[in-house]
Amino acid sequence: MSKSYLLLAGALLATSGAFAQSVGIGTGAPATTAMLEVASTTKGMLVPRMTSAQRTAISSPAQGLLVYQTDGTAGFYYNNSTTSTANWLWLPDKVSAGDNLGNGTATSAVKLAGNSLSNNGTGGLSIDNSGNVTTTGNSLVSGNSSVAGNSAVTGNGSVSGVLAVGTTTADAKAALDITSTTKGLLPPRLTLTQRNAMGTPTVGMLIIQTDNTPGLYQYTSTGWASVGAGEYTAESSSAGNAPTTNVTVNPPATNIVYNDNGGANGTITLGTGTAGQRLVIVNNDNQYITVVSASGTGNILPKYAARFIYTGGVWRRES
């Protein structure tokens, strides 16, 4: 009997010494940073298996305690509580998103399309790691919206209601209210070639032309016209009766006054000039005068004037 006790004591001492180091099962060289290493290429490791009732019956489970639940929502559960009150957490195999994402009170049809939110599963709204928001297709903003900081919008978009920039109290009668005491408004900047490539835009379109007599241009019913060409002094002037027949004029002067001819007026076609030359035609006749330029055919009403500029080898109406 004494021999048995000695063998048992020796085994316990040996076991105690082994547990003070790393224990290896299936390997003779367990990792030095692991208290227990199980190695196998044909078998796995089974943690304690129990029902939900058995798991919750464990009194004051240790933090990090791991079990496998066999009923209910089966799977691995671990306790992450730092107190004697258990807080079991289930380890799901994956996180799934259904076809519909909602707030629990309304039905929605928002899908995850890659890294984007979409209602058709292909395009949608995405936000990158830098906070940039991009959409596929057109963007629509409705209701009251505000944007702080620097923002950029590209592509096609629409805003319904009143859009305010730089203020949260937009003028109710304005579709667009821009407020600033340190910055201005910068319309699109185009070259003459780019401007002409637009074809026939909507009347009222505004651009900044950057070459060939740069400035602010507005598209009118007779074509593109410079806006606010500024004051200038007429270098030369001529006066005479308005023509009664169709004529082509190569203006040698910068100011032409047409007086009443007592009859019907002919059409004036502007011919050639010098680059940058400006021309004012004053109609003192009692009938309108029709003038043809590269901007189109337009009328100058009685007692009114029109301004033209010679640019790009043609005469264009400014106002």
- pLDDT, tens digit (0-9, with 9 covering 90-100), for 232-257: 444 557 788 999 999 999 988 788 88
The CA-atom distances, in angstroms, between 226 and each of 27, 163, 213, 219 are: 88, 27, 9, 9
State residue 88's pLDDT score. Answer: 94
Q: Is residue 12 part of a domain?
A: no
Q: Are residues 256 and 206 in the same domain?
A: no
Residue bearing the bigger pLDDT, 174 or 202: 202
Q: Are residues 106 and 84 in the same domain?
A: no
Q: Which of 226, 253, 285 is the last residue before a domain boundary?
A: 226
Q: Are residues 312 and 241 in the same domain?
A: yes
Is the pLDDT at 150 greater than 70? The verdict is no
Q: Which of 123-127, 204-208, 226-230, 292-296 has the lowest mean pLDDT?
A: 226-230
Q: Which of 100-109, 195-204, 246-255 has the lowest mean pLDDT?
A: 100-109
Helix (H, G, I), strand (E, B) or coil at 316: strand
Is the pLDDT at 175 greater than 60? The verdict is yes
Q: Which helix (H) or strand (E) holds 284?
A: strand 278-284
Is the pLDDT at 316 greater than 70? The verdict is yes
State residue 9's pLDDT score. Answer: 46
Q: Is residue 6 part of a domain?
A: no
Q: Is residue 1 part of a domain?
A: no
Q: Are residues 205 and 222 in the same domain?
A: yes
User: d(Cα 212, Cα 222) in Å, to the nearest integer?
Assistant: 19
Q: Are residues 278 and 250 in the same domain?
A: yes
Helix (H, G, I), strand (E, B) or coil at 159: strand
The CA-atom distances, in angstroms, between 71 and each of 12, 45, 50 are: 38, 20, 8
Q: Are residues 87 and 119 in the same domain?
A: no
State residue 11's pLDDT score. Answer: 47
Q: Are residues 173 and 198 in the same domain?
A: no
Q: Give 81's contacts (C-beta < 8 A, 6+ positions apart).
A: 61, 63, 87
Instruction: Give residue 203's domain range.
Output: 189-226
* CB half-sphere exposure, 34, CA atoms < 13 A: 11
First to last CA, the chain: 123
Q: Are residues 208 and 267 in the same domain?
A: no
User: d(Cα 10, Cα 161) in Å, to the nearest integer?
Assistant: 88
Q: Are residues 242 and 312 in the same domain?
A: yes
Q: Is residue 142 part of a domain?
A: no
For residue 301, what is the domain's CATH number?
2.60.120.1230
Is the pLDDT at 156 greater than 70? The verdict is no
- What is the per-residue burial (b if ≥16 Cβ within 10 Å, else e) of 128-150? eeeeeeebeeebeeeeeeeeeee
Q: Is residue 268 part of a domain?
A: yes
Closest by Cα among 282, 301, 277, 280 to 290: 301
Closest by Cα among 26, 23, 43, 46 to 34: 23
Is the pLDDT at 41 greater than 90? The verdict is yes
Is the pLDDT at 109 greater than 70? The verdict is no
Residue carrying structure tokens 């400006």 = 278
Q: Are residues 198 and 242 in the same domain?
A: no
Q: Which helix (H) or strand (E) holds 7?
A: helix 2-19
DSSP line for 172-226: TT-SEEE--SS------EE-HHHHHTT-S--TT-EEEE-SSS-EEEEEETTEEEE
In degrees, rounded to 5, the angle at the alpha carbon of residue 60 between the alpha carbons of residues 57 and 66 is 75
Is the pLDDT at 115 greater than 70? The verdict is no
- Rounded to the nearest integer, the mean pLDDT of the chain is 79
Q: Is residue 13 part of a domain?
A: no
Q: Is residue 308 part of a domain?
A: yes
Burial of 281 from C-beta contacts in 10 A (0-12 / 13-18 / 19+): buried
As for how many domains the chain has, the answer is 5
Q: Which helix (H) or strand (E) holds 9?
A: helix 2-19
Say if CB 251 and CB 273 are below 8 A apart: yes
Closest by Cα among 68, 53, 60, 69 to 87: 60
Helices (H), strands (E): how many in the chain?
A: 3, 27
Q: Are residues 174 and 123 in the same domain?
A: no
Residue carrying structure tokens 């060939």 = 212
Indicate the residue type of 7: L
Q: Is residue 46 part of a domain?
A: yes
pLDDT confidence of 203, banded at 50, 70, 90?
Answer: confident
Q: Are residues 268 and 214 in the same domain?
A: no
263-275 pLDDT tens trace:
899 999 999 998 8
Report the pLDDT averaged over residues 179-187. 88
